[in-house]
Structure formats: C-alpha cells, structure tokens
C-alpha cells in the first residue's frame, strides 16, 4: 500500500476548500466533508482514493435547513452543440436500451473513430472538450463517438428491469451499441477505444469480441484506472462517499461544487458535462439530484476491476495507459511495463478526471497514439507489435 494511500485513509474530515476567488462570500460548507488529501492529483475530497469514480448516492437523511444559494452565473451550463456534430438516440433492442450517443464523424470514409466510454456516475459529455480537441488536431481525419451507458445520462431502458450493472452486462451493451452504429465490419471505420475508470474495464473486455468479428481496431486506451489500486480502495468507499452533498439548489451550484472541490479542475468542461449527471426533481429537497444512484451498484464494483490488468495486457492491439500518478501501478502492470507491453503516460497537474482537467494534453497523447498505430494497422506491422 503506498504512502499516499495510507495518507488518504487517515485523512480527517474537514471543510471543503473555498470557492474560486471572485469577491463573493461563500456559504459555510457542512462539517462532514473530507478535506484535500495529500499527493498529486487524486481528484475531489470525497473521492481521492477511489478510482471506481466519484459520484455515489448516500443514504437518505433529513434535509438540511439552509438558505437557498443564488446561482453563480460563472458556473452556468454550456451547450454541448459546439463540441459534437450530433447528439443521437440509438435504439438497441437486443439490450433493451435507447442509447444516447454524441458523435462527430471522421471526414474521410476510411478514417478512424475514437469510441469513448465514461466512468461510473458520469456521461458521454465528460469527453466533450477532449472530442473537440481531437477533431481539430486531426482536421477531422479522426472522429469521436462518446456514449451514455445504461442508467447514465440520457440513455434509457426499454425493459422494466435494468438493475444489473455487472461487467458482463456493460460489455454486452457496449458491444451491441458498436454493432448497431457500425453493423458491417468491412465498411466500418477503424476504431480506437478510450475508456475512463469503469469504462476502461468495459473497452478492454469488448476489444477481443470485436476483433473476432473482424472489426479493425487501432488500439485501446485506459484512463486512470488500475486493478490493484481500485480493489484495495473498495472497502473504504461508503464512508468516503458519504461526504458528498445530497443534492444542490441549482445546476450552477452543482457545477460550482465539482470545480471548487477539484472533482473537475476545468470549469469549462464541468459546465458542459455536469448537467448530464444531475436531474431536476420537482418537490425534492434539494431539487437538483444525482441522476445515477450508484450506491445501488455496489454488488458489482468488484466485477468492474477484477481481471482488468490481465484483459488489458492480453488485448491483441496497441495498448495505452494514461495516469494521473505513477503510484497507481499494480504488480502485473509494472511487469508488463518493464516488458514493453504497453505505452504509459503520466499527466502532471490533473486529478482522476484527467480528460476533463486537461483535454488538450489528453487529445495530444491520443492523436499521437492514433497516428502511430494507424500506420501499423495499414500494413507496416501487425497491430500490437510495437
């Protein structure tokens, strides 16, 4: 167990950090919030040691009697319309889903599409700023498709029961979504998968299934999730997650909370992505609630991460691991790195939501990865022989 992890476990409850300086006085936060933990970029106070993500619902309590905050216009929502060309609902009847996807197609018919899968509690819009950077850097040669997983964002279930959130269900969903959007492997673009946290587990396990179906895959990229570190943190999650708010008085307050707690370092990204994970519930106190009740998925947390390192290292394509800190590597990945089985990049100055914190740097890393492995895919070598 790393020194940083020990520090995280022993961190005492403290007040959340103050809001961004703008001359306004901030209301006093509740005293059961966890203060900043030591170390480099592990994300928000309540989530610093948890790479299974960030937003889990706490047990119901009596609502706090507090004055309603006036919405801060500096944290007003921003439309995603300038980040993706299309927002589509894709019917996936075999999975009982009406799936929301955000898509900017590659300009060339034989181009590449990066397909992004978010972490638990987030949505496809967590990749909005990243997607815009990728399409601009590649001049449209590389497109980006970002999905909302089941029970997330604007994806809805057409079945009466969608409570099963095990890794096998998520993989089957993702596989069906890709096959629905690109039904013919021969005419489909080259695919490059990008998965954040829980999404990293999904893409690594889906990759071999799509390769068997003869889809062209240029690589898989896993963002800030490591099997050993994540599993080690699981027993401590409930106590940590209780530190987050029950909800918010406005969407602006929800966005502001994510920025001022360093859940997301980049306010512009938070203003695009957070509205998709918060829902307005008339009559609720507070009225803006978390959209995804992730505490109910606790029985499946272990399945998300168990075997992740093995599935990542055995993927028959180029492999990229992007981390916010080197302390996250487990033994299996350390050995794999020494053997040159994958490329690893550590991004300084970011937290767990690294693709939102620094979308420009993440886009640069992935465009470089795509260019190198796209050339491999067209005949220099077989994929994965880097």
Q: Is 209 within a domain?
A: yes
Percent of the chain with pLDDT over 70: 79
In this structure, of 60-64, 111-115, 279-283, the range with the lowest mean pLDDT score is 60-64
Q: Is 269 within a domain?
A: yes
pLDDT at position 169: 95
Copy the structure tokens of residue 235. Answer: 């027993």
Q: Which residue has the higher pLDDT, 73 or 17?
A: 73
Domain containing 350 equals 1-11+33-56+71-235+244-386
Q: Using the 8-state DSSP alphabet, how is residue 259 labeled?
A: H
Region 110-134: mean pLDDT is 96
* Residue 378 confidence (pLDDT) above 80: no
* Residue 137 confidence (pLDDT) above 80: yes
Q: Is 109 within a domain?
A: yes
Region 354-364: mean pLDDT is 98
Digit-coded pLDDT (tens) for 333-342: 999 999 999 9
* Residue 216 confidence (pLDDT) above 60: yes
pLDDT band with cut points at 50, 70 and 90 for residue 5? very low
Q: Is 27 within a domain?
A: no
Region 355-367: mean pLDDT is 98
Q: Is 21 within a domain?
A: no
* Residue 47 confidence (pLDDT) above 80: no
Q: Is 181 within a domain?
A: yes
Digit-coded pLDDT (tens) for 10-23: 332 233 333 333 33
Q: pTM surpassing 0.85?
A: no
Q: Is 62 within a domain?
A: no
pLDDT band with cut points at 50, 70 and 90 for residue 377? low
Query: Is 220 in a helix, a strand, or coil?
Result: strand
What's the mean pLDDT when you consider all of the chain?
Answer: 82
Region 212-224: mean pLDDT is 97
> Is the dihedral angle over the CA atoms 105, 108, 110, 111 positive or is it negative?
negative
pLDDT at position 73: 94
The count of structural domains within the chain is 1
Distances (CA, A) of 368 to 204, 274, 340, 350, 372: 20, 28, 18, 20, 6
Write the CB contacts of 82 (distance below 8 Å, at least 6 apart in sequence): 132
pLDDT at position 315: 95
pLDDT band with cut points at 50, 70 and 90 for residue 297? confident
pLDDT band with cut points at 50, 70 and 90 for residue 224? very high
* Residue 41 confidence (pLDDT) above 90: no
Phi then psi for 362, rounded to 5 degrees?
Answer: -65, -35
* Residue 231 confidence (pLDDT) above 80: yes
Q: Is 80 within a domain?
A: yes
Q: Which residues are catalytically annotated?
A: 197, 224, 352
Q: Using the 8-state DSSP alphabet, how is residue 34 labeled?
A: B
pLDDT at position 380: 38
CA distance 385 to 377: 10
Phi then psi for 30, rounded to 5 degrees?
Answer: -65, 150
In this structure, of 58-67, 167-176, 367-376, the range with the lowest mean pLDDT score is 58-67
pLDDT at position 56: 37
The angle that helices 359-375 and 128-137 make with each other, rounded to 10 degrees, is 50
DSSP 211-244: HHTT--EEEEEEES--HHHHHHHGGGHHHHHTTS
In this structure, of 28-37, 237-246, 256-265, 303-312, the range with the lowest mean pLDDT score is 28-37
Percent of the chain with pLDDT over 90: 66
Digit-coded pLDDT (tens) for 145-177: 999 999 999 999 988 677 889 999 999 999 999
Is the distance from CB of 181 to CB of 121 less than 8 angstroms? no
Phi then psi for 290, rounded to 5 degrees?
Answer: -65, 135
pLDDT at position 8: 36
* Residue 9 confidence (pLDDT) above 80: no
* Residue 286 confidence (pLDDT) above 90: yes
CATH number at residue 47: 3.40.50.1820
* Residue 4 confidence (pLDDT) above 50: no
For 214, left (φ over 0), alpha (ψ -120 to 50), or beta? Answer: left
* Residue 68 confidence (pLDDT) above 60: yes
Q: Which residue has the higher pLDDT, 18 or 127?
A: 127
């Amino acid at each position: 167990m790393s020194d940083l992890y020990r520090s995280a476990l022993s961190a005492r409850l403290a007040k959340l950090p103050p809001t961004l300086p703008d001359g306004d006085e901030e209301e006093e936060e509740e005293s059961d919030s966890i203060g900043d933990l030591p170390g480099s970029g592990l994300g928000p106070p309540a989530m610093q040691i948890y790479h299974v993500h960030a937003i889990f619902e706490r047990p119901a309590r009596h609502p706090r009697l507090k004055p309603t905050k006036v919405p801060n216009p500096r944290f007003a929502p921003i439309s995603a319309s300038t980040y993706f060309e299309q927002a589509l609902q894709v019917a996936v009847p075999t999975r009982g889903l009406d799936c929301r996807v955000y898509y900017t197609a590659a300009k060339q018919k034989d181009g590449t599409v990066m397909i992004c899968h978010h972490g638990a509690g987030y949505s496809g819009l967590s990749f909005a700023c990243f997607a815009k950077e990728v399409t601009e850097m590649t001049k449209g040669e590389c497109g980006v498709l970002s999905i909302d997983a089941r029970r997330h964002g604007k994806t809805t279930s057409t079945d009466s029961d969608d409570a099963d959130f095990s890794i096998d269900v998520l993989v089957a969903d993702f596989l069906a979504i890709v096959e629905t959007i690109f039904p013919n492997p021969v005419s489909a673009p080259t695919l490059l998968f990008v998965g954040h946290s829980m999404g990293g587990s999904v893409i690594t396990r889906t990759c071999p299934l799509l390769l068997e179906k003869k889809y062209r895959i240029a690589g898989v990229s896993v963002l800030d999730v490591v099997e050993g570190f994540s599993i080690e943190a699981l027993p401590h999650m409930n106590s940590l997650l209780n530190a987050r708010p029950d909800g918010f008085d406005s969407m602006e307050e929800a966005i502001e909370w994510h920025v001022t707690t360093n859940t997301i370092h980049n306010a512009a990204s938070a203003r695009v992505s957070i509205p998709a994970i918060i829902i307005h519930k008339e009559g609720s106190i507070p009225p803006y609630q978390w959209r995804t009740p992730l505490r109910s998925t606790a029985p499946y947390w272990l399945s998300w991460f168990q075997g992740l390192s093995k599935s990542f290292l055995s993927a028959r394509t180029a492999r990229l691991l992007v981390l916010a800190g080197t302390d996250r590597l487990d033994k299996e990945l350390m050995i794999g790195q020494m053997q040159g089985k994958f490329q690893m990049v550590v991004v300084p100055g970011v937290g767990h939501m690294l693709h939102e914190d620094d979308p420009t740097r993440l886009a640069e890393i992935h465009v470089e990865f795509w260019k190198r492995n796209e050339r491999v895919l067209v005949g220099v070598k077989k994929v994965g022989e880097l």
